[in-house]
Amino acid sequence: MAVVSSGERWDDVPFHAVRVAYVAALVDTARVDVATLPVEQVASIELLDRFDGLLLTGGASMVHPSAYGAIARADDAYDRARDTFAFDALRAAHALGLPTFGVCRGLQEMAVAFGGSLRPLPDHREDLSLPRDEQYLPRHGVALAQGGLLQRLLHADEISVNSLHGQGVDDLGPVLRREAVSAGGAIEAASHPEHPFFLGVQWHPEWYAGSEPVARTLFEAFGAAVRGGAGAGSRPVAPHPVSAGAT
| Residues designated catalytic | 104, 204, 206
Residue 189, classed as helix, strand or coil, is: strand
**Angle, to 10 degrees, between the axis of helix 105-113 and the axis of helix 80-96?**
70
From residue 146, how far is each of 108, 141, 142, 172 by CA, in Å?
A: 22, 16, 13, 18
* 212-243 core/surface letters (b: 16 or more CB in 10 A; e: else): bebbbbbbebbbebbeebeeeeebeeeebeeb
H or E segment to which residue 217 belongs: helix 213-227
List the end-to-end C-alpha distance of the chain, in Å, as a whole number. Answer: 24
Task: Tell me the Cα Rg of the chain.
Answer: 17
Q: 87: burial class by Cβ within 10 Å (0-12, 13-18, 19+)?
A: buried
Q: 206: burial class by Cβ within 10 Å (0-12, 13-18, 19+)?
A: buried
Percent composition of the chain: helix, strand, coil (DSSP 3-state, to 5): 30, 25, 45
